[in-house]
Structure 1
Amino acid sequence: MSFERFSGPVWSLFRIVVGLLFLCHGAAGVLGVFGGHRGSGHAIEFGTWPNWWAALIQLVGGALVLTGLLTRPAALLSSGSMAYAYFVVHQPEGLLPLNNGGVTAALYAWALLTIAVLGAGPWSVDALIEARRTGVHRSPAPAGA
């Protein structure tokens, strides 16, 4: 049995889940929902550097990645913000992510970079826009959108 036919839908589902989880982190920080920033029950004070801005990137970038709209630039910016978080906040506390609390930041950085490189997949607004523009539906391979 070949699993190749599932690659496009599974890739799209991966992007959707990563985008949703990233959006939830941003909503917690910017809006104070889902327990607020780091479980404080509160939003981050407006404009506070870098936390509020990082949360805004998470909220907007997560929404864009979730829907598959402007996926590559949104995922690239989001990946960069997580790399910044890892190297500036976590890495000085210890070499390995398991020791410095940076596992989540490292995973988001790599997952979002992968999405930026491979694209949104077939179940995305980007794919719909491309299909309308060209009149051609692309292959459901991960790099198709």
Structure 2
Amino acid sequence: MKYLVRSDAVLTDAVFLVVRICIGAVFIAHGWDKVVNQGVAQVAPGLGEMGIPLPELSAVFLAYGELIGGALVLLGLVTRVGAAVLAVNMVGAWVFVHSGAGLMQQNGGFEYVMVLAAINLLLIAHGPGRFSVDGVLADRLGGGSAAGAERTRRVADSPAGAPK
């Protein structure tokens, strides 16, 4: 019955790896296009036409946020920071670009940016999982390993919190 509300940790972490790779690749591709193919200076006028405030600064945040944030999410390196930048970008796109067109993307709606924002919020809340640079660093620093969890449990179960 518990599997209706909880899943196996290894399976969950494997799925988070797949999600991070997919989302990271999408954002890297969009960021690369803005930085390398179009050029950030060419992105800014379009943002201004859409009514986005401070279009020159917004273009830099958007382009490099997608490129670097996507790479961070893909690698699982300071994942929550990368995901937060991407979520802010998507909420901005939702509010400034797509909100007036309804839900459906075919009509210019916000469904795509809404889903991307939601996935990044999930990464912020859950973290990247063990199959990530963050997970490896946490294990090495004692913050994410099974041994660290066991030490925490032993201390919590001991009288007056003394280590066993």
**Aligned length in residues:** 128
User: Can you give the 5+ residue segments of structure 1 that lack an aligned partner in the other structure?
Assistant: 33-41, 140-145
Q: Is the 8 A contact 1:122 1:138 kept in 2?
A: no
Does residue 1:64 correspond to 2:69, yes or no?
A: no
How high is the TM-score relative to the length of structure 1? 0.77
Alignment of 1:1-145 (within 5 A): 4=8, 5-32=10-37, 42-45=38-41, 48=44, 49=55, 50-92=58-100, 94-98=101-105, 99-134=107-142, 137-138=145-146
1:138 to 1:31, Cα distance in 2 relative to 1, 3 A: farther
**Matched residues in 1 for 2:96 and 2:143: separation?**
45
Q: CA deviation at 1:136?
A: 5.5
**Matched residues in 2 for 1:135 and 1:56: separation?**
30
Q: CA deviation at 1:46?
A: 6.3
Q: Is the 8 A contact 1:72 1:115 kept in 2?
A: yes
Q: Is the 8 A contact 1:72 1:116 kept in 2?
A: yes
> What RMSD in Å do the two structures reach over aligned CA positions?
2.3
**Identity across matched positions, percent:** 29
Corresponding position of 1:142: none
**Matched residues in 2 for 1:97 and 1:124: separation?**
34
**Matched residues in 1 for 2:43 and 2:109: separation?**
24
Q: Is the 8 A contact 1:97 1:106 kept in 2?
A: no
**Matched residues in 1 for 2:143 and 2:110: separation?**
44
Q: CA deviation at 1:52?
A: 4.0
Q: CA deviation at 1:13?
A: 1.4
Q: 126-135 vs 3-12, which deviates more?
A: 3-12
**Matched residues in 1 for 2:85 and 2:59: separation?**
15
Which is greater in Rg?
2
Q: CA deviation at 1:80?
A: 1.3
How high is the TM-score relative to the length of structure 2? 0.69
Q: CA deviation at 1:59?
A: 0.3
Q: Is the 8 A contact 1:61 1:75 kept in 2?
A: yes
**Matched residues in 1 for 2:16 and 2:99: separation?**
30
**Matched residues in 1 for 2:81 and 2:63: separation?**
17
Match of 1:76, as an amino acid? Answer: A
